[in-house]
Amino acid sequence: MNFEHRQTAHCESGAVAALLRHQQLPLSEPMVFGLSGALTYACIPLIKVGGMPLLAYRMPPGSIVRGLSKRLGIRFTFQRFRRPEQGLQA
């Protein structure tokens, strides 16, 4: 089965949605955000960006994978490679 790439709005949620879709679990990117519990809101007035308070709207990277693993009982496996060729070969 060929991996289908789709344009997404966010890196982690889009990648996770694509991986799950490839494994026959068709969840959209918004659904992945919601099920993982990674969508949140924070207003930090002490830190200014362009004169406006800093706004955060999602949890830190990794929270989507951890949240879905916990809520759906899915196990993710990670591999790291020193060279891109090694990753392509795997």
- Give the residue carrying structure tokens 């994978």: 65
**pLDDT for the residue numbered 3:** 86
Residue 58: strand pairing partners: 39
61 HSE (CA, 13 A, CB side): 5
**Token pair listed for 90:** 């795997």
pLDDT tens digits along 19-58? 999 999 999 988 998 899 887 878 888 888 888 888 877 7
pTM greater than 0.75 (yes/no): no
**pLDDT for the residue numbered 53:** 86
Q: How many CB atoms lie within 10 A of CB 72?
A: 14
Residue 80 has pLDDT above 90, yes or no: yes
